[in-house]
Amino acid sequence: MNMEQGLRKSGSRRRFIVQIGAMAAAATVPGCRLLDKGDISERIIDIHQHAGYSGRSDEELLAHQATMGVTRTILLPAGRPMNSESTHQAVSNGLQAQCLGNEACRAISLRHPGRFLFAANEVPDAPGAVGEIEKYLKLGGVAIAEQKFGLECDAPEMQRLYVLAADYNVPILMHWQHEMYNYGFDRFHRMLEKHPRTRFIGHAQTWWANVDQNHTNQKELYPKGPVTPGGWTDVYLRDYPNMYGDLSAGSGLNSLTRDEGRAVEFLTRHQDKLLYGSDCNDRAGWGDACQGAQTIATVRRLVPDLKIRAKIFEGNARRVFRI
């Protein structure tokens, strides 16, 4: 099924016309153009998107990714809805963003082969969590993600998932947010050492705030100002071959724009460890309304070297996710 057929099937004719118009307009927007089959000058794999994000429809997601110029997208599902301590009494259901689960993400990938892939996920301490994730890995899931739950990073339930990721040779992507998701960032190096076969991908506020060696107030999630290299994130990427970074969300963009001189050094230093992701819930796909498009434009501005950019936009994702 091609893009036009998919949009016609999944929505009304009126909405279809609106979305096609948005994609056509995107072709004229620098940094946000739609790449067609004949344009392979800069291919982009988005490793971090969601189905149902903030109520966004499948057709809006499809148009959004095309407008950004993304050629392939990995959908990260939520775990099952639960009322438990690890979901903060249901606050974390739907990844705290109305995101849909395993079957919904797989269904989109089946309807749009080549454009969408899916990960597998579950609340780590839910009954049968390993079996649920394993089911979708066997069906073609390319990662365990997004792990966004209130558990210690070295909890037995988490370590079972680290082992599962290694056994299936897929990465596990973790949302680090102080006192909310994945506790114990400062001791995570122990898990990197204990599970060397597991490929970890870091994401979110605490991960990106700690690019700065002087970041001491962990409650400050979007710090501004100059960056001193040598923070935990810098060290994890430098010293552990199984650690990678996801540039997505406002936290990733903030880490690039708060001190652009240092960001250039950081992107160059970790060019083999960084992956582009959007994690944006807008419908636009371009301009100031779209954080994912802003991140693409920022990487293009800060990294003139096309070979380095190709790694960040596509090459590293192909290697880490084996796609």
pLDDT score of 304:
97
Q: Is residue 301 predicted with pLDDT exceeding 60?
A: yes
pLDDT score of 1:
42
pLDDT score of 187:
98
pLDDT score of 129:
98
pLDDT tens digit sequence for 228-254 = 999 999 999 999 999 999 999 999 999
Rounded to an integer, the average pLDDT of 210-222 is 97
Q: What is the CATH number of the domain that holds 144?
A: 3.20.20.140
Q: Indicate the number of domains in the chain.
A: 1
How far lies 63's CA from each of 37, 50, 53, 256, 317, in Å?
Answer: 16, 14, 14, 26, 22
Q: Are 95 and 102 in contact (CB under 8 A)?
A: no
Average pLDDT, the chain: 90
pLDDT score of 189:
98
pLDDT score of 69:
97
285: left (phi over 0), alpha (psi -120 to 50) or beta: left
pLDDT tens digit sequence for 116-145 = 999 999 999 999 999 999 999 999 999 999
88: nearest Cα among 22, 183, 218, 190: 183
pLDDT tens digit sequence for 46-89 = 999 999 999 999 999 999 999 999 999 999 999 999 999 999 99
pLDDT tens digit sequence for 28-45 = 333 334 433 333 479 999
Rounded to an integer, the average pLDDT of 241-268 is 98
pLDDT score of 39:
38
pLDDT score of 70:
98
Least confident of 3-17, 46-60, 292-306: 3-17
pLDDT score of 5:
41
Q: Phi/psi at 202 (nearest 5 deg)?
A: -95, 145
Residue 88: domain span: 3-321
Percentage of residues of the chain with pLDDT beyond 70:
88
Residue 150: partners with Cβ closer than 8 Å, 6 or more residues away = 85, 86, 87, 88, 92, 180, 181, 183
Please calculate the CA angle 60-299-236 and round it to the nearest 5 degrees: 105
29: nearest Cα among 296, 290, 287: 287
User: Whose structure tokens read 């990294």?
Assistant: 303
Rounded to an integer, the average pLDDT of 97-113 is 98
pLDDT score of 24:
43
Rounded to an integer, the average pLDDT of 280-300 is 97
Q: Is residue 180 predicted with pLDDT exceeding 70?
A: yes
